[in-house]
Structure formats: C-alpha cells, structure tokens
Amino acid sequence: MMEHASARDSPQPGPAHVLTTVGSYFLELPISSKTPQTIPARQTTLSSGRLFACAPYCRVERLLCGASVLGYLRMFPVTLDRYMVVTTIPSSDSSTARSPASSYLLFGYSLADLLVPSLVLLACAVLAYLVYRRSQEASPSSASKKKSKSRKANESLLNDTSIVNQMSVVGIDFGNLNTVVAVARNRGIDVITNEVSNRSTPSLVSFGEKQRYLGESAKTQEISNFKSTVGGLKRLIGRSFEDPDVLAIEQKFVNCKLVEGERGDVAAQVTYQNESRTFSMTQVAAMFFGQVKDFTSKEIKTQCTDVVLSCPGWFSDRQRRALLDAAEISAALGYGITKTDLPDPSLDEKVKPRTVVFVDMGNSSYQVSVVQFVKGKLTVKSTAYDRNLGGRDFDEVIVDHYVTEFNKKYKMDIRANPKALFRLRQGVEKVKKILSANSVTMLNIECLLDDKDVSAEVHRAEFLEWIKPLMARLKGPLDQAMADAGISTADVDFVELVGGSTRLAAVKEFLGEYFQGPKGENKISTTLNLDEAVARGCALQCAMISPVFKVREFSVQDWNHYPISLSWDAALVPSTKTGEAGVSHMEAFGVGNAIPSNKGLTLARRLPESELAENNGHVKFEVEAKYDAPATARGLPHVPKDWIGKFTITGIKKLSGDPNAAGEGVAKATIKVKARLDANNLVVVDGAQQIEEVLVAEEAEKKDEAAMETDEKPKEVSAAQLAASGGGPPQKMKRVTRKHDLHIVVQTAGASRELVKEWHALEGEMNATDRLVIDTAEKRNQLEEYVYYAREKLDMAWSDFITDADRSTFSTELNEMEDWLYGDGEDATKSVFVEKLSGLKKKGDPVAARYLQADERPRAEKLFREFANNVLINLSAEDDRYSHIAPADLEKVKKETNDKLKWLNDNIAKVNDQPKHVAPAVTVEQINLERDSLMYFVNPILNKPKPAPKVEEKVEEKAEETDSLGNTKEVPTEEGKKEEQNMDVD
C-alpha cells in the first residue's frame, strides 16, 4: 500500500499495476486503501517493465535500456478528469486498484484547455545505431557483398515492423544545443523538419515584452533579447543551485542570469512582459517541449501520442526526477536489431559476443559505453562519463585565446560585455568547424565592440596545441569503461562514434590510436549520422515499446553506474543475540548492478511499549536511499547530502507472534521490504509487509480449505500462548507465516503537488497569452494585407465596378487605415483589428463580388449555351438515335431547352444594359443552377437505353413415324442425334 507525502515523488508502483482503458486513454490504477477494487490485468509482450503515459491527445512512453545516455520522464499528480496515465510493470501479484486522485500526468496537454504540461516530461533514449557499418575491407567485391547484406538486414527489420493503428511514434533527441525529432512511419524511421524546415531545432526559450519565443523563433531573439533568452536547458534542469558547477561552468554559457529557485534548484531570471520574472528550469524546458510537440503534430498530421526523449546517463536522481523515466541504449539497440551477422548462442553456447564501444561527444558532455551483443540480446558491460567535456569546451579554448589577443590588439575588454562575448563564441564555433577540414581559416566579426571590426588568422596547428589539456581528458572515461567491463582494447570489435563533436579530426585520431588493433587496423566507424542517430534510436525504441508497432523481439540488460545504499535509524534496530548493534546501513545496488533488478530486504524494528502507547499502537520505520561516497568519484553531479529519497513505512504494530528482541525484553517487528532499481535507474520501494509467525494445529490447517468457503479461520496460537496454556492434550502444531501489508509514504526531491498546480496554471496563462499575441498579429497582418490589396484593385481591376464618389471615399479610408496601423494601431487588440477589417470588407466585398461576377459570367454563359445547343442539334439529327423515345418526351426536351435559352438571353441582355457598378440582374450562380436544372431534366430522357432485340427460340426439327398399331411418334433427326451424343460425351 502506498501514499504520497506532500513533497513530490516519482510514482511508486505497488505490488501490481494494471492496464485498463478509459475512452481512448490508458489509465494507471495503483493501490488505494480507501477505494480498493480488482481489475483484470492486461499483460504486455515486452520482456521488461514498461511505462506508458497518456493524457488527452498525447502519451509518452518510457524505454528500458541503458548505456550511452540515461534519463527519464517526469510524472506529476493531477486530477483524473483531464489527464490519464498508464503504467505497466511485470508482477506476479494480483492486480488491484487505487483512487484516481493520485494518478500522474506525463507529457502533453489538453488542446481544449490550451495547457502545456507543467513540468518537463522526458524519456531517455540513447544512441541509435540505425545505419550500417562501413565496410572495413578495401575489396570492392567484398564491400558490395556487405552493402547487399546490410540492405537485406534493413528490409528484414522493416518487414517485421507493422503499423496496427493510426497513432504517432516519436523519438526526440533533447540536446543542450539543438533538438532533433524522428518518427516511425512508412515502415521506417524519418527525421522530420520543424516549422521553418530545419531538421534540428535550437533548444532555446526567449521571453519578450508580449509573448514567449520558442525554438527557432527564440534563436532570432538570441542577440536582440540577449538577457532574457534561456539556453542550456539540458545542463541545468534539476540541478541544485548549491552545485558549484552551476556558477563556475554553466553561467558563462547561458545569457540570462541564473538564480536560486523556490526549492533550491536552478532558475532563470528574465524580463517577461516588462516585469522581472523567475522561472525554474523545469518550467522553461516544459515550454520548449510544448513547441516541439506542436510542430511534430503538424508534420505527422496527427496528435503526438507516443514519445520517447533522450537525456544523459550521468544524471543524478534529482535531475531524473525533473526528467522522469528514461532508457539508455538506443544506438546499441538499433545495432543489435539490424545486424544479422551477430553471434548466435543458440548454435554455440561458447560463442564469443561482439563487443562494441559507443563514444558520444556532444555540445557539453562526453560519454563512453561498452556493450556486448549476441543475436537478440545486448548487455551493457560498463559506462563512463566526463559531464563537462564537449564541443563548447573546445570553442572556449579559442575564445580565451582571442579575448586576450583582441584586448592587446584592439584595446577592448570583451569579457566586460556579455553580448560581445556571445558574438565571439558564435564566430569561434564556425572557425572550429572549418578547421576540421582546412589547415587555416579567418576569424572575422564586424562591429564586435565599440563599432570595431576584428579579424585574425587561425591555424589548425595552433588549435591542436591549445586543446591538448582537453584531449588528455578523453583517456580517463575510456580507461574507466574498459576497466569496469574487464576487457582490453584488443577485445573491442568496433568503435561507433556519435555526437557532433566527434567530427573533430583530433578526436577521431585520438580514438583511432587508443583502439588501434595489433596489426594497425582502424576500428573506428563513422557510418552514423552523428546529429540524428539519437533521435532515430529514440523513435525505434518508441516503436518497440508502443502497442502501435510490432517489432522483432530484442532483450536489453542495462548497467548501474552509481552505487546506491539504504539506511535506517540504528536506535530502532534491535541488537543481535551476541549483544552487537544491529545493522543500519547496506549497499542495495552496487556499481554494475543489473537494471532493472529487485531486492528483498528483511528488517527488524524494536517495538517499545511506550512508543506504541503514544501512537495508538502503531509505529513507523523510515528507510532512506542515498548515493554512496564512490558515486562522486564516478562523476555524480552535486546532490545535497547525496540524498535520493525517504520511504516511510507506516502501520507497524505489535502482533501476537512477534518475538522479543534478544536480551532487551522488548518485542520486535519483522518487516520485509521490496526495493527495486527500476528500468529508469531509480530506487523504488513499492511494497512492505510485516511478518508474523504463529503456530497452528495441523488438524485446523487441514480444514483450512473448508474454512475458506465458510469464512471460518483456523485458530492461531502464538508460541507464548501455547506455553502459558500448560495443560491440554498434546497436539501437533505447525509454524505458519502471516503477512500484513503496510503503507509506504514516499518523499523525493520532486516538486510538491501545490507547486505543480501553480506551475500548471501559470503555464496555461502564458500559453493563452502567446496564442492571443499570435492571433492578434495574424489579424493585424490580415488588415494590413487587405489595405494594400484593396487599394491596388481600386485603381485597376475594380475601377469600372464602383462609382467615382465611392472609390474616392473608399480610397481615403484605406489610406487612413494604413496611417492608423503604423501609428495608434501598433498596440491595438485583436478585437479592434477584426472590427476594422470587417468594416473595410463591407465596402470592398460588394465591389469585389461584382468584379468576379463579370469575370466569371462569360464562361458560365458559354457552358450553358454549349449544352443547350448540343441538345437541339442532336434532336434535329436525321438518324434513329432517339427512335426508341416517345415523340412526346422529345418534344418536352425541345421545349424545355428553348425556354432555358430564352431565359438566358433575356437575363444576359439585362446585364449588358446595366452599368457595371450595380448588382447584376443575374448571377453566375443562377446561370449554373439553371444549366444544372436543364441537364437533370434532359439527360434521363435522352440517355434512355434502347430496348434489347427479341431472341427467337430455336425449334428442334423432328420426323414422325407410324408404328404397327397405327400410332404416330416423333423420331429425332440426325442433327438431334448428334446433339444427344455430344451431350453424353460432355
């Protein structure tokens, strides 16, 4: 049984979770003591636990993987009248349900409410290996064979994937610099473009005077709205402001001011709607993902329902609570699925697995994963990280050099001007890319500071000298990953590169030398699209976990990077029989622990009579989860007190079977706790029971089945009661264990429910404001466009269809409206623009209508006359085409046609006699309607089919003969006999 404390926590699944549907949504029904009910469980075909989350129009799916990148999605409690969530976790227990009041919202928002999710709902995904390894052999024929094999492997994968429903399957690579989105469709994986047709979207949010700018629009505001544009979302979300890296490292890469938020986390201080505002990084990331969801839905032409997102593997629990539920091995998973030449253990149990090292260096971090593959399975052997080594650090080396040089050469202090420093970083980033292919290039920046242009020649040799300290840092994670995996570089089959910064020639050269084979062979593979591989892997993961797709089965064995321990109050633990203090601390999940995995803990708790009396016979027991000290050495970001969460077990009471604590004379309770390291690498305590041992008479035990039918229970006798009873006939007793479910109250570093509601409401207000600003701008543009359009038409096409006086008046109004637009109308409201546009159209639309009537009337008249004349010509033709039609009907057709032609001639004559600036006597619509009426009258008569010719029956000729009695009988002719013979043959 579980309850949630006021502090926000991740969803703690009970012993059993079930899937049910509510309308078109999936719903998680956890356990509740208040409203228990049993619902049949719905099983999944996937081998490990999964998380599906859904709200109206959107469901986010969590993957189970682990190696290159680690992360997860965030859930938040909301009422179930709008949002619904589904969670499935393998369990052998029966399925039970709890009140919907404690359900959780993940990614997405109700379009009816125009509300974006309050908190970032991210799912991890990792590097995808979805393109095929380049042939390592020089032989053209060999390369051709391998290419053919890869093509067949890809076709096989796609043939095993079938869409079973019209729903979206989306993978999002959430990057620190850019975000890439891929979708599973057309039996494959496609990277989609955003609203401006780019394949990557800047991970930025900018706050303006009237609205927010998200993604591409924020990029255009990055310099002009410098101090209110927020970047680095991936690096800052979930970070504690006490983390020394925040101000020492991250602040210099972020334009806005970083401050401490309400919960001690990092927040951005910006100017929004001319007011100083503070937003947590979780809020800012939620804003950005709302934009990603919008352009994704437009591109795939359906609602964004199933989503998997990526984040780094080195994230702490605090960061994961802000980006909940992730997986870790998209790239490795894609490799294992698409490769058909992997070792097959079913054929040879001693087969050596293929070992692949995935090296990912992006904009801000560096990650190494060692993964072993056999057919249908991958196993993560180790992971290692340098969370502060990425492409931006190589840029910063060049920036530092030229800040000093330009200060000497141009006498300018660039660091004193953040905007100038930012522009220098932009120029340096381009220089770094050019140096990957060229030995020398120029750094040119116009008006960098004090209206001075700066320029410098940059040589690759100098750049390589400057980055030597950074290159030395590449070796540490590689050594650690090799050591943790227990292998050497000689055991590595291939090295797959992912991330834009691995394009640097120096990085490739270093990795090539590190993994060089004994014969000098190069194990580096660069066949991946370095920028899109992760997004493609996310989409593939989403397809595997989603009920929309059917994908070939593939199992994943993940690997825990940080050691995690559980501890409790030593004073509550009874001493051992030898008088030693009880254990109050244990390592629950060590480095390399399998993910997911379960641990069963048996704990003892003293039950002093005084404490029981003070708490109405019930006591509690608190278990805390923390990172062990070695986690910091393994790259764990700063976590206050290394704290993960606290799990308070309540409802513990003294039972008749509780023995006394050894040597203390105090009863003790035995508690069994189910701890789990879930597929997201999160510690979950999702079940606790108090154990009671009682003695039951064997005879009563045998009658237990009958008692179940009559609700009678066998008499239970504790050991103490049996001893006290003294007499009585000897009876054979049996020791029976009874289990009593306990409640668990969970506290983690997540936001409180009250804060979540506040953020949710605020996000709804800001989203509505953005929508209003956008709609207002659209209406203003429509008004401006109509002013120019109508003024041009008045002088040209419309000139004959309006009187001179009306044209002069209307033209004056248009000129005045233009002046108003660029004057007092700059800040007008949406309703004002709508009203003014409507007023202009009341005068302009009749003129436009008369012009269109005059323009389209000749064509309508022509079509009418052509049809009518064709009917009359056909009627006067001297042939028998209508000989089967009654003359009266033909006369009706002729009369109706002539009447319609007369109607047309009369009305066209009236129109020709009218001036063009008045409403025409007959409209194009009326002409077309009369033509259709004539067609409906004429066609059924003239198209009447001719009757089919009569078929004469063939009469068989028969001869007659007279028998001896004078009777006459028919005799078949020779032809008839032949017919009968033929029929017999048939």
Instruction: Please state, in angstroms and rounded to a whole number, the distance separating the CA atoms of residues 257 and 247.
Output: 10
What pLDDT is recorded for position 554? Answer: 73
pLDDT in tens, 407-423: 888 888 899 898 999 99
Residue 876 above 80 pLDDT? Answer: yes
- Between the CA of residue 972 and those of 837, 959, 969, 979, what are the distances in Å? 95, 6, 10, 10
Please, which residues have CB within 8 angstroms of residue 887's CB and are 6 or more apart in sequence?
none
Considering only 165-179, 192-206, 230-244, which range has the smallest mean pLDDT?
165-179
What is the signed CA dihedral for 15, 20, 22, 23, rounded to 10 degrees?
A: 160
pLDDT in tens, 901-912: 999 999 999 999
pLDDT in tens, 342-359: 555 555 566 678 888 999
Q: Which two tokens stand for residue 887?
A: 């003359």
Share of the chain above pLDDT 90, in %: 27
763-946 shares the fold of 560-748: no
What pLDDT is recorded for position 542? Answer: 78
Instruction: Please state, in angstroms and rounded to a whole number, the distance separating the CA atoms of residues 485 and 430.
Output: 38
Q: What is the pTM of this model?
A: 0.66
Interaxial angle between packed helices 533-545 and 330-338, expressed in degrees from 0 to 180 and rounded to the nearest 10: 70
Instruction: Please state, in angstroms and rounded to a whole number, the distance separating the CA atoms of residues 312 and 496.
Output: 17
pLDDT in tens, 677-703: 876 677 888 889 888 887 777 765 555
Higher pLDDT, 586 or 319: 586
What pLDDT is recorded for position 888? Answer: 92
Higher pLDDT, 32 or 922: 922
Interaxial angle between packed helices 140-159 and 330-338, expressed in degrees from 0 to 180 and rounded to the nearest 10: 100
pLDDT in tens, 830-842: 999 999 999 999 9
Distance of CA 645 to the CA centre of its chain: 27
Residue 143 above 60 pLDDT? Answer: no
Instruction: Tell me the mean pLDDT in the region 25-51.
Output: 30
**Which superfamily does CATH assign the domain made up of 560-748 to?**
Substrate Binding Domain Of DNAk; Chain A, domain 1 (2.60.34.10)
Q: Where are the alpha helices (DSSP H) in 317-357?
A: 317-322, 330-338
Distance of CA 245 to the CA centre of its chain: 29
Distance of CA 232 to the CA centre of its chain: 20
Q: SS in 3 state form for 140-192?
A: HHHHHHHHHHHHHHHHHHHHCCEECCCCCEEEEEECCCEEEEEEEECCEEEEC
Instruction: Please state, in angstroms and rounded to a whole number, the distance separating the CA atoms of residues 148 and 154.
Output: 10
Distance of CA 16 to the CA centre of its chain: 26
Instruction: Tell me the mean pLDDT in the region 379-404.
Output: 91
- DSSP assignment of 939-986 equals HHHHTPPPPPPPPPPPPPPEEEEE-TTS-EEEEE-HHHHHHHHHHHH-
Instruction: Name the CA radius of gyration of the chain, rounded.
Output: 40
Instruction: Tell me the mean pLDDT in the region 426-430.
Output: 91
Considering only 177-191, 245-259, 565-579, 805-819, which range has the smallest mean pLDDT?
565-579
Instruction: Please state, in angstroms and rounded to a whole number, the distance separating the CA atoms of residues 885 and 114.
Output: 65
What pLDDT is recorded for position 80? Answer: 24
Phi and psi based region of residue 132 (left: phi greater than 0; alpha: psi -120 to 50; beta: remaining): beta
pLDDT-derived band at 55 (thresholds 50, 70, 90) equals very low
- Between the CA of residue 954 and those of 587, 759, 947, 949, 957, what are the distances in Å? 103, 93, 21, 16, 9
Instruction: Tell me the mean pLDDT in the region 126-144.
Output: 37
Instruction: Tell me the mean pLDDT in the region 324-344.
Output: 40
Higher pLDDT, 629 or 83: 629
What is the signed CA dihedral for 404, 409, 415, 419, rounded to 10 degrees?
A: -130
Distance of CA 223 to the CA centre of its chain: 30
Residue 338 above 50 pLDDT? Answer: no
pLDDT-derived band at 291 (thresholds 50, 70, 90) equals confident
* 425, 397 contact by CB (below 8 A): no
Instruction: Please state, in angstroms and rounded to a whole number, the distance separating the CA atoms of residues 256 and 422.
Output: 12
**Helix (H/G/I), strand (E/B), else coil: 311:** coil
Residue 94 above 50 pLDDT? Answer: no
Residue 3 above 80 pLDDT? Answer: no
pLDDT-derived band at 125 (thresholds 50, 70, 90) equals very low
Residue 92 above 60 pLDDT? Answer: no
What pLDDT is recorded for position 26? Answer: 30
Tell me if the domain spanning 763-946 has CATH number 1.20.1270.10: yes
Q: Where are the domains of the chain?
A: 1-43+77-106, 560-748, 763-946
What pLDDT is recorded for position 88? Answer: 27
pLDDT-derived band at 457 (thresholds 50, 70, 90) equals very high
Considering only 123-127, 518-522, 664-668, 723-727, which range has the smallest mean pLDDT?
123-127
Instruction: Please state, in angstroms and rounded to a whole number, the distance separating the CA atoms of residues 150 and 52.
Output: 32
